[in-house]
Amino acid sequence: MTTITGKDRQTKPHRLDVERVRNDFPILQQRVYGRPLVYLDNAATAQKPQCVVDVIGEYYACDNANIHRGVHTLSVRATNSFEKARGKVQGFLRAARPEEIVFTRGATEAINLVACTYGRANIRKGDEILISAMEHHSNIVPWQMLCQETGAVLRVAPMNEAGEFLFENYQKLLTPRTRLVGMTHVSNALGTIIPVRAIIEEAHRRGAIVLVDGAQAVPHLKVDVVDLDCDFYVFSGHKLYGPTGIGVLYAKYDLLKKMPPYQGGGDMIRSVTFEKTTYNEVPYRFEAGTPNIAGAIGLGAAIDYLEGVGMDKIAAYEADLLDYATEKLTAIPGLRILGTAREKVSVISFVLEGVHPHDIGHILDQKGIAIRTGHHCAQPVMDFYGVPASARASLGMYNTRREIDALVEGLREVTEIFR
């Protein structure tokens, strides 16, 4: 994984044809309140290219059938498409084998799966689970629940005012009792890139396993789970320009083999009698019931699209856009950016003196500009900065400098209204 900053940004032009990319996203062509839509809420969910929309429609129009076990033509076609999507995810994450990919409803369910299966089987009273101060609620609450159930203790590695992970403090918090480390790869509230490779190395040195929440990382960065050596990696399809309701848990094969099932039902079994059930092989033992077949196929199409555009091009383009947006927003009187880490992706949270973030969001919406306001499911981050909420502009590969200018103009009008 590489982050393009400083000199690299000047010597490695992005060469991304943003107008061509924008034409692939039908939703971006609409107007809101008579203004062209400026969609800057990609950290909440990204828009979908036409190819994703088309492949979902094609599945329902031509191949709709339940997967696995069926011998008729539609079932075979649906099964092949579903398993082909699993292979695409494997390639996207550079995983060693397709069996290490489990489909879930999203990153949230994937984390809960690990907490309920690996966690219940391996975490005991007095053990410690270590997370960071930048976590999304989805990487806090499941571990709190596990600690309440088992008597384990939750520890939190701090950050500094710039929103940067304090690695030395993290090292001090690791103890012989640390059993699991759960860390975000990229902060959804601040955009900070966490040094997960070093975190993983240190945790493994102490005998702990590591789960990485990659929901905000995979749209922006190349991820190689083998190179990272993480034990678990999770993400949600809808933030990766794919459908909602589909997510991924990557887990090392040997770990999956030892983990008990998450839910009981169809497809996660080999045989069932009233006396005994024999469970299926991985990954199927973790995919009970009829899965989101169309969602998995749509996610596969989104991965194809991103790889066609080029993740390196996307990263370089977004880095340039982040620099531009940061410079323009910083020049607005009374505006304070939360999180100024040197290494970050294109997410900017900010507050405007004397204006509630919800008022900012409402006024900008009247101008066709969509941002996110609130605590971003990261209330501890807001507490750290002493604010109840913030406004967040999160940029994707289809956003432009022209849209940043529209945001800045809108915010200047907001300051005039509340002067």
Taking only the tens place, the pLDDT of each residue in 266-319 is 899 899 999 999 999 999 999 999 999 999 999 999 999 999 999 999 999 999
Instruction: Determine contact, residues 189/381, Cβ cutoff 8 Å.
Output: yes
If you average pLDDT over every residue of the chain, what do you get? 95
Contact 73, 216 (CB under 8 A): no
Which pLDDT band, with edges at 50, 70 and 90, does 9 fall under?
A: very low
- Structure tokens belonging to residue 212: 């990485």
Burial 384-412 (b: 16+ CB within 10 A, else e): bbeeebbbbbbbbbbbbeebbebbbebbe
Q: In terms of Cα–Cα distance, which of 400, 228, 295 is closest to 78?
A: 295
pLDDT band at residue 5 using 50, 70 and 90 as cut-offs = very low
Report pLDDT for 333.
96
Among the listed residues 62, 116, 147, 377, the single catalytic one is 377
User: Residue 14's pLDDT is what?
Assistant: 65
d(CA 4, CA 319): 7
Span 403-414, average pLDDT: 98
- Please report which confidence band the pLDDT of residue 151 belongs to, taking 50, 70 and 90 as the band edges: very high
In angstroms, the CA 368 to CA 349 distance is 19
Grade residue 15 by pLDDT with cuts at 50, 70 and 90: confident
Can you tell me whether residue 392 is helix, strand or coil?
strand
pLDDT on residue 81 = 98
Q: Kindly tell me if the per-residue pLDDT of 360 is higher than 70.
A: yes
Other CB atoms within 10 Å distance of the CB of residue 377: 17
Q: At 88, which helix (H) or strand (E)?
A: helix 73-93
Domains of the chain: 6-48+310-417 (3.90.1150.10), 53-307 (3.40.640.10)
List pLDDT tens digits, range 70-101: 899 999 999 999 999 999 999 999 999 999 99
Residues 194-235 pLDDT 10s: 999 999 999 999 999 999 999 999 999 999 999 999 999 999
C-alpha angle 303-232-2 in degrees, rounded to nearest 5: 55
**pTM for this predicted structure:** 0.95
* pLDDT higher than 60, residue 6: no
Percentage above 70 pLDDT, the chain: 97
- 289: alpha, beta or left? (left if phi > 0; alpha if psi -120 to 50): left
Instruction: Answer yes or no: 147 catalytic.
Output: no
Instruction: Measure the CA–CA gap between 415 and 351, rounded to whole angstroms.
Output: 12
